């Protein structure tokens, strides 16, 4: 077991959450094997009101019987959790198990659940490292939790984590209960140095939880995920999602790997059936050997287009430096004015004209810390990259008055 500092779940988590008795249904007591007459949950016994009747039997389908949608989904999702753990297991002596996992409606549910679990409204705080994902602050505000900001290194252009500065903040303010770290960063696209994370985890006096958001981790090099660390660090949470590398944003499934004790608290406070049967069946299909083969092929094609953007964007007049890293399915790039200076006003005009005149939508990030003049560009298909490069060249010429 790694050093845990001063972390104590019994004093870190909110008392009402520690005392929470989770919702239970009859199927927590009696496992349904498909042969039971189910008269416990007030479901509609005549089935779903759908204009078709049948199962998904296509070769590429999930095999899920959609005629059973009148039944509530499995509240525990054991089979799906095992597949998630198998996908991330790297340590044969300390493997991840379903007890290490919380599943939610996208990573956003985990972000919110952690706030509700550990932060007393109007009293406790979280720490974020801008520039970073905006939902940490949004969810904190919804929960009446103050946000303390300790920026990444904004000078070098690499947006590296500053563990000494974070630890100083944690020493000064014990009301900070959560630290949210995005890796690979959004919008910075760089993976956080694991040694920097270890320094924060090793804080000798802070009683709180480190949350690593790995939504884009599969675009980084093999073995970059810190999910296997949760078996050694009881105050570490590693969030992931099927929205990005797996291309399943529409099913809204996120996962949080953590200690069994924290996972249990998160599962206690969640709605009992938040993961739908259709979401679960599609996720199981994606994590199957056949699904992983499709994902790997799509990744190969996407990374080829990322390399193409990395090569071709600098050839366009008005494109400046890449900022951050190259570990995601997007690039953060500077837009220059006529004086070759990064300019947020110019970047915003380029962003607007690309979308309004050419129907090419990227993301303006010029208002973020350390991102002056920046656009965040998602890697598209070969045809989409063709159009982006063509239209971006035209718009840059127009906006910059050349």
We report the CATH number of the domain holding residue 300 as 3.90.1150.10
* pLDDT recorded at residue 74: 87
How does residue 10 score in pLDDT terms, banded at 50, 70 and 90?
very high
pLDDT, tens digit, for every residue of 237-287? 999 999 999 999 999 999 999 999 999 999 999 988 899 999 999 999 999
Number of independent structural domains in the chain: 2
> What mean pLDDT is reported for the chain?
92
* pLDDT recorded at residue 172: 97
Tell whether 67 is covered by a domain: no
Q: Are 44 and 68 in contact (CB under 8 A)?
A: no
Tell whether 64 is covered by a domain: no
pLDDT, tens digit, for every residue of 89-104? 988 789 999 999 999 9
List beta partners, residue 180. 128, 211
Tell whether 129 is covered by a domain: yes
Clarify whether residues 150 and 178 are in a common domain.
yes
Task: Show which of 245, 270, 287 is a domain's final residue.
Answer: 287
Clarify whether residues 307 and 265 are in a common domain.
no
Tell whether 4 is covered by a domain: no
* pLDDT recorded at residue 56: 52
Tell whether 268 is covered by a domain: yes
CATH of the domain at 202: 3.40.640.10
């Amino acid at each position: 077991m790694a050093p845990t500092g001063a972390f104590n779940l019994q004093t870190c988590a909110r008392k009402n959450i520690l005392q929470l008795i989770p919702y239970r249904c009859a199927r927590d007591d009696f496992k349904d094997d498909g042969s039971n007459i189910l008269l416990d949950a007030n479901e509609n016994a005549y089935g779903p009101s759908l204009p078709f009747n049948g199962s998904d039997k296509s070769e590429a389908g999930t095999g899920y019987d959609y005629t059973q949608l009148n039944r509530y989904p499995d509240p525990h999702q054991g089979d799906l959790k095992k597949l998630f753990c198998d996908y991330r297991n790297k340590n044969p002596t300390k493997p991840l198990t379903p007890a290490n996992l919380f599943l939610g409606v996208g990573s956003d549910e985990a972000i919110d659940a952690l706030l509700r679990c550990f932060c007393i409204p109007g009293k406790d705080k979280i720490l974020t490292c801008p520039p970073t994902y905006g939902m940490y602050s949004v969810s904190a505000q919804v929960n009446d939790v103050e946000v303390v900001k300790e920026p990444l290194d904004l000078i070098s252009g690499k947006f590296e984590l500053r563990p000494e500065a974070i630890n100083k903040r944690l020493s000064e303010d014990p009301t900070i209960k959560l630290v949210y770290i995005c890796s690979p960063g959004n919008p910075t696209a760089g993976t956080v140095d694991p040694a920097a994370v270890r320094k924060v985890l090793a804080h000798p006096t802070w009683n709180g939880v480190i949350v690593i958001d790995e939504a884009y981790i599969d675009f980084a090099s093999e073995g970059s995920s810190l999910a296997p660390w949760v078996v050694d660090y009881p105050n570490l949470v590693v969030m992931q999602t099927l929205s990005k590398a797996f291309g399943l944003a529409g099913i809204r499934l996120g996962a949080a790997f953590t200690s069994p004790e924290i996972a249990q608290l998160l599962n206690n406070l969640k709605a009992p059936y938040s993961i739908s049967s259709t979401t679960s069946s599609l996720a199981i299909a994606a994590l199957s050997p056949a699904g992983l083969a499709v994902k790997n092929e799509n990744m190969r094609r996407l990374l080829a287009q990322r390399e193409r953007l990395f090569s071709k964007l600098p050839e366009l007049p008005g494109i400046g430096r890449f900022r951050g890293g190259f570990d995601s399915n997007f690039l953060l790039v500077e837009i220059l004015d006529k004086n070759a200076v990064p300019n947020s006003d110019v970047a915003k005009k380029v962003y607007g004209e690309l979308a309004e005149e050419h129907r090419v939508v990227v993301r303006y990030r010029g208002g973020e810390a350390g991102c002056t003049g920046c656009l965040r560009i998602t890697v598209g298909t070969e045809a989409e990259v063709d159009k982006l490069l063509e239209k971006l060249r035209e718009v840059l010429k127009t906006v910059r008055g050349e």
